[in-house]
């Protein structure tokens, strides 16, 4: 069903919440399959009496629901003719959904729920081999994720890539998939608790998130102050929408600056909380270990101070001994009372 043959009413919340008339529903179906598979694995653990976090389950399911809503509602129809809605869709799939999916720890759930025999064993072997591969280590490197963000914001719009891609029959849904995958690759090294082959330190995670905030801010400001349209695909919206494409581009810039940074700031706060919690736990564990077995560094320092005190006492004793000797030498040969003979 073509948007050209189906005039869209002026955008509004009610219009966004209808069922899409143009979506291929590839993304909603994939999200539903993932949600069902995750729930089956989690319920399987609970039935066997094994623990699995309800919070992680809720996080993953909410991420899947957001994918389905973003790409399956009429919002997806408007995203094909309005840059602001397209930007909202991109930011949701790149910034909001991936942390929710990653915090669900789907890889750890798979490793714990799949049987260790038969076909399940083959799945485990394949999964573990992938997790240990150099390719995955390279793909999850922070430099790669930053380059992807630069490409999907600055390169896509300023490099005149968005027009030829969206002109393709499956261009729109292809970009949706790329947005989601890029966001997941960015989120895994930062918030994942799964056994992934790369672990970033907490300072590196905070630095990576800060760089992302700066990228969104500059890009959003550029869109808001640009006197011309940066893409031709959204230059001629349907007349029924009654919108100015340049004004709509300014709204897209505002979304890139505000909505794009919101999830990033929340993730940064989460990382700082985990950083503080891990440091506190390590300090408590070190105190318990020191109480039980002693602290080697502290013991060595105390021994050093003891040796210094011992040397000081020896020098002091040696000095007092010399003074006594001189007094004794004087007293040992007193001058006779009658004076010299």
Over residues 173-193, the pLDDT tens digits come to 999 999 999 999 989 988 988
Provide CB contacts within 8 A for 65, sequence distance 6+. Answer: 31, 35
Question: Alpha-carbon distance 291 to 288, whole Å?
Answer: 5
Provide CB contacts within 8 A for 31, sequence distance 6+. Answer: 64, 65, 67, 68, 71
Confidence at residue 97, expressed as pLDDT on a 0 to 100 scale: 96
Confidence at residue 337, expressed as pLDDT on a 0 to 100 scale: 46
Confidence at residue 325, expressed as pLDDT on a 0 to 100 scale: 44
Confidence at residue 1, expressed as pLDDT on a 0 to 100 scale: 38
Residues of the chain with pLDDT under 50: 1-4, 322-333, 335-341
CB 57 within 8 A of CB 42: yes
pTM above 0.85, yes or no: no
Assign 3-class secondary structure to 284-331: HHHHHHHHHHCCHHHHHHHHHHHHHHHHHHHHHHHHHHHHHHHHHHHH
* Cα atoms in the Cβ-side hemisphere of radius 13 Å centred on 315: 6
Confidence at residue 223, expressed as pLDDT on a 0 to 100 scale: 92
Question: Alpha-carbon distance 197 to 202, whole Å?
Answer: 16
Confidence at residue 216, expressed as pLDDT on a 0 to 100 scale: 82
């Amino acid at each position: 069903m073509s948007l050209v043959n189906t005039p869209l009413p002026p955008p509004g919340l009610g219009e966004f919440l209808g069922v899409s008339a143009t979506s291929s529903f590839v993304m909603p179906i994939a999200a539903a399959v993932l949600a069902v598979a995750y729930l089956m694995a989690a319920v399987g653990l609970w039935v066997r009496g094994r623990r699995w976090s309800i919070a992680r389950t809720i996080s993953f399911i909410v991420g899947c629901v957001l994918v389905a809503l973003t790409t399956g509602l009429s919002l997806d129809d408007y995203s094909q003719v309005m840059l602001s809605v397209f930007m909202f869709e991109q930011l949701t799939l790149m910034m909001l959904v991936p942390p929710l999916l990653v915090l669900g720890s789907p890889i750890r759930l798979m490793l714990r729920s799949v049987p260790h025999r038969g076909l399940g064993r083959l799945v485990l072997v394949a999964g573990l081999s992938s997790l240990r591969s150099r390719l995955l280590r390279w793909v999850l490197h922070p430099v790669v994720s930053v380059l992807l963000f630069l490409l999907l914001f600055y390169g896509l719009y300023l490099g005149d890539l968005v027009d030829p891609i969206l002109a393709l029959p499956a261009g729109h849904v292809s970009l949706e998939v790329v947005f989601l995958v890029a966001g997941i690759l960015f989120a895994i090294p930062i918030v994942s608790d799964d056994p992934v082959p790369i672990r970033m330190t907490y300072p590196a995670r905070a630095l990576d998130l800060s760089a992302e905030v700066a990228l969104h801010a500059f890009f959003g400001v550029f869109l808001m102050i640009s006197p011309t349209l940066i893409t031709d695909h959204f230059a001629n919206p349907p007349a029924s929408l009654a919108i100015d494409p340049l004004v709509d581009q300014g709204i897209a810039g505002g979304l890139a600056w505000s909505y794009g940074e919101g999830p990033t700031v929340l993730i940064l706060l989460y990382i700082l909380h985990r950083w503080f919690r891990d440091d506190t736990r390590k300090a408590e564990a070190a105190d318990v270990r020191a109480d039980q077995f002693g602290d080697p560094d502290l013991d060595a320092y105390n021994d050093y101070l003891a040796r210094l005190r011992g040397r000081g006492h020896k020098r002091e004793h040696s000095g007092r001994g010399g003074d006594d000797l001189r007094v004794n030498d004087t007293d040992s040969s007193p001058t006779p009372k009658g004076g010299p003979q």
